[in-house]
Amino acid sequence: MTAVTTSDLSPAAPGRTREVPRGLVWMWRDTWTEAMRHLRAVPRNPDLLIFATIQPIMFVLLFNYVFGGAIEVPGYDSYTQFLMPGVFAQTVLFGSAFTGIGVAEDMTKGIIDRLRSLPMYQPAVLVGRTVSDLCRNIFTFVVMFIVGYLVGFRIGGSVGAALGATLLLLFFSYAFSWVQAFIGLSVKSVEAANSAGFIWMFPLTFVSSAFVSTESMPGWLQTFADWNPFTKLTNAARALYSGTDPGADLWYSLAWAIGITMVFSFLASRRFSRTSR
């Protein structure tokens, strides 16, 4: 009888080895899988998408028809032309909040822990989430653009410049999705993620040039509003949509978006690797 050693059994033990994720193909595959997981859930929860679309429509109608007759902006024939780029910017920024809420929900349900235990490219968990929310933001933006056209907004420049403004807005929303992902990983509940994700966005969007000219603000507040990254974004998008030169606002907006993405993607990834619930 031939003796059987432990070493003879080890190669024939399937499942004992775990493939380590590596390479760009693995990264893109897992990222796409994770993004599709979230996108498939949208039709099963349409209420979230509906209310996310209704809110900016209400802003358009309220500001355009209630305050439009009382607000005059030098250099613009109508308040609608001045208002809509600001509403577009606010819409995509507010849409990024769903990243933090979704991450916090996955954390409390234990889905994140399950994903961390799988042999997958770990950063794909967060990248897939941010990409899926970007896709949802694109849908919301299209709806908002149609509403803006119905109330009188028109593109004054070239189609290429308008497309550039749209891409800039979406890039900015993607950058802030990483801020929200970091918040979602840092709080203990979905309710906290909802509050922490929105509370700082109101002063950021309203103390800006989104709805009124910053020249109408007190001196100390005007200084903050002028250097607010949301103001730079709104001014750049407004100029591109109207066909005028965005000047330095375009480069400031790109610098802010790139910087925010780099910093908070690093912080969120580091937090993700250290968090276990």
Q: What is the pLDDT of residue 10?
A: 39
Q: What is the pLDDT of residue 213?
A: 87
Q: In this structure, are residues 144 and 83 in contact, taking their beta carbons and an 8 Å threshold? A: no
124 is written with which tokens?
């794909």
Q: What is the pLDDT of residue 13?
A: 42
Q: What is the pLDDT of residue 183?
A: 93
Element at 117 (helix H, strand E): none
Q: What is the pLDDT of residue 15?
A: 46
Tell me the three-class secondary structure of 31-70, residue by residue.
Answer: HHHHHHHHHHHCCCCHHHHHHHHHHHHHHHHHHHHHHCCC
Q: Which amino acid is at 169?
A: L
SS3 state at 131: helix
Q: What is the pLDDT of residue 161?
A: 94
Average pLDDT per 10 consecutive residues for the chain, totaling 277 residues: 40 48 70 78 71 78 78 79 91 89 84 72 82 89 90 90 95 95 89 88 90 86 92 95 93 95 93 71
Q: What is the pLDDT of residue 22?
A: 63
pTM: 0.83
Phi, psi of 53 (to 5 degrees): -90, -35
**CA 263 vs CA 94, 179, 231, 268, 269: distances in Å:** 20, 9, 20, 9, 10
**CA separation for the pair 184, 99 (Å, rounded):** 8
Provide the CA 173 distance to its chain's centre, in angstroms: 3
**CA separation for the pair 184, 129 (Å, rounded):** 12
